[in-house]
Amino acid sequence: MHAETKVPEPDFLPREAFDAVERVRQVDVVIGIPSYNNARTIGHVTRAAQAGLEKYFPQLKAVIINSDGGSSDGTRDAVLASRLDTSQLLIFNTPLFPVHRLSFPYHGIPGKGSAFRLIFQMASMLGARGCVVIDSDLRSITPEWIDLLLRPVLHAGFDFTAPFYHRHKYDGTITNSIVYPLTRALYGLRVRQPIGGDFGLSSRMVNRYLSRRDWQGNAARYGIDVWMTTIAIAEGYRVCQSFLGAKLHDPKDPGADLSEMLHQVVGSVFTLMQEYESVWKHTTSSKDADLFGFRFGVGLDPVEVNTGRMLGLFQRASHELKEVWALALKPRTLDELGKISAALESSSRNGFHLDDELWVRVVMDFAVAWRDRPAERGHLLRSLTSLYLARVASFVLETRDLVSDQVEDKIEHLCLCFEKLKPYLISGWDCAAAPVQSAGRELENAADGARAEAVLED
Q: Where are the domains of the chain?
A: 15-292, 307-457
* Overall pTM > 0.75: yes
Backbone angles phi, psi at 184, to 5 degrees: -65, -45
Per-residue confidence (pLDDT) for residue 449, from 0 to 100: 43
pLDDT of residue 438: 38
Architecture of domain 15-292: Alpha-Beta Complex (3.90)
Contact 117, 134 (CB under 8 A): no
**pLDDT of 458:** 47
DSSP secondary structure of 97-134: S--EEEEEE--SSSSHHHHHHHHHHHHHHTT-SEEEE-
The pLDDT of residue 316: 94
Based on the number of CB atoms within 10 Å of its own CB, is 428 exposed (0-12), middle (13-18) or buried (19 or more)? middle
Q: How far is CA 126 from CA 61, 76, 416, in A?
A: 11, 21, 43
What three-state secondary structure class fits 432? Answer: coil
| Amino acid 447: pLDDT | 40
Closest of 275, 188, 272 to residue 227, by C-alpha? 272
* Distance, CA of 432 to CA of 409 (rounded, Å): 37
Distance (Å, whole) CA 286 – CA 426: 16
Per run of 10 residues, the mean pLDDT along the chain (length 458 residues) is 61 84 94 92 93 94 92 91 67 65 86 92 96 93 96 98 92 94 98 96 97 86 94 98 87 61 94 96 96 80 85 94 95 96 84 96 97 93 95 95 92 98 97 48 40 47
Check residue 255 and give its pLDDT: 53
- The radius of gyration of the chain from alpha carbons, rounded to an integer in Å, stands at 23
Say how far apart CA 211 and CA 95 lie, in whole Å: 34
DSSP character for 4?
P
- Which contiguous run of DSSP H or E holds residue 359? helix 356-372
192: left (phi over 0), alpha (psi -120 to 50) or beta: alpha
Sign of the dihedral defined by the CA atoms of residues 150, 155, 159, 165, in that order: negative
